[in-house]
Amino acid sequence: MWYNVLLDALIDTLKLVPFLFLMYILIELMEHNTRMGRPSRLLSGRCAPLIGTATGLVPMCGFSVMAAKLYEHRHITLGALLSVFIATSDEGLLVLLLSSEAGFLWTERLFTVLGLLGAKLALGVGLGYAADLLFFKRAALAPMPAEHHHVHEHEHKHEEHEHEEHEHEHEEHGEDHEHGECACDELTVCEHKHTSTLRLYLVSPLLHMLEVAAFVLLVNIAFGFLFFGVGEARVIGFLQGAGYWFQPLVCPLVGLIPNCASSVVLAEVYCLGGIGFGGLLGGLVANAGLGYLVLFGKGKNSLRAAGIMLAMYLIGVAVGYAASGIALLIPA
C-alpha cells in the first residue's frame, strides 16, 4: 500500500541520521580542533583508498553519504571517494546472504558474496589509487588543522596583548575597579567560549543533519512511489529479459538509482536466476546508494557530480562485461 512507501522512506532516512550527525561532528572537529590533525590526514593520505574501500564494504548505506560529504568539504580525495562508492553495496549483500530461494544453495550464496567482496576490494583499492595519481591536487584539499591552529595561536597572542593593555588601563583607575572588571570579563569570556563550543560541536551539526535528512526523506519518498507505480515485478521482468550481453549495460543503470531499493532489486533478481554474476557485479559496483544525492545536494557542483556518476556507470559496465566474459570461460 502507499503508506508502506512512506514508512519505508522514513525508516531508510532514520537509518542515516546517526551517520549524518557523527559525520558533521567529525567535520567540525577536523576544521576547528588541532588534535584531529593527524587522524584527518589518514583520510587524504596514502592509505585513503584502502581505508575507503574497507569502510565501503560494510553493508550500510551511511558510509557512502559520509564519504560524499567529506569530499564536498574537501577533506578526502577523489580516489578515496571512488573507493567507497565502488565498495558500497548497501543492503544487497544482506539479501544475498539471507535469500530463501530454493534453487539458490548456501554454497552458491557464499561464493557469490566472497566473489563480490574480492572484486570490490581489488577494484576499490586499484581504481582509488589510480584516480589519486591522475587527479590528486593538494591545493584542492581543505587546509589541515595545523594551519588553523597557527592562525588561532596568532589571534590568541594578539588578544593577550590587547588584554595586557586593557589591564594596564584598569590599574590607572584603581585596584578595586580592576578586580571587578577582570572578574566580569573572565565570566563573559567563559560564557562566550561555552556557548560557541556548544553551538559549533552540537547545534551546528544537528541543524546540518536535519537539513540533509529532510532532503533525503523527500527523495526516498519520490523514488519509493516511483517503484510503487512501476512495480517491482516489472523491474525484475525487465532485468530478466535484458539478455546476457545486455545485462552489463542495464544493471549499472539500476545501480545508479540513489535508493536502497536498487541494490535489493539487483540481488533479488540474481537470486531468482534472472541475471548473471557479471550483471550483478556491474550493478553493485555502480551502486553508491544515497551518496549520489549528497553530491547533487545543493546544486553547486552538479557538473562534477554528473561526471562522477558517469565514471561509476562506465566502471560498472566494464566490470560487468569482464566478469561475464570470464564466467563463460569457467566450466560449469
The confidence score (pLDDT) of residue 278 equals 93
pLDDT along the chain (332 residues), means of 10: 78 80 75 52 76 86 84 88 92 82 76 93 95 69 47 47 50 48 50 59 79 79 76 71 83 88 86 88 92 79 91 96 88 61
Residue 200 lies in a domain: yes
Residue 165 lies in a domain: no
In contact, 245 and 33? CB cutoff 8 Å: no
In contact, 108 and 300? CB cutoff 8 Å: no
Sign of CA dihedral 48, 142, 198, 160: positive
**What is the total count of domains within the chain?**
1
Q: Hey, what's the cell of 228?
A: 510503487
Residue 301 lies in a domain: yes
Residue 19 lies in a domain: yes
Residue 235 lies in a domain: yes
Residue 276 lies in a domain: yes
What residues make up the domain containing 254?
2-145+195-329
Residue 229 lies in a domain: yes
Residue 219 lies in a domain: yes
Q: Hey, what's the cell of 168?
A: 594596564
Q: Say what the pTM is.
A: 0.73
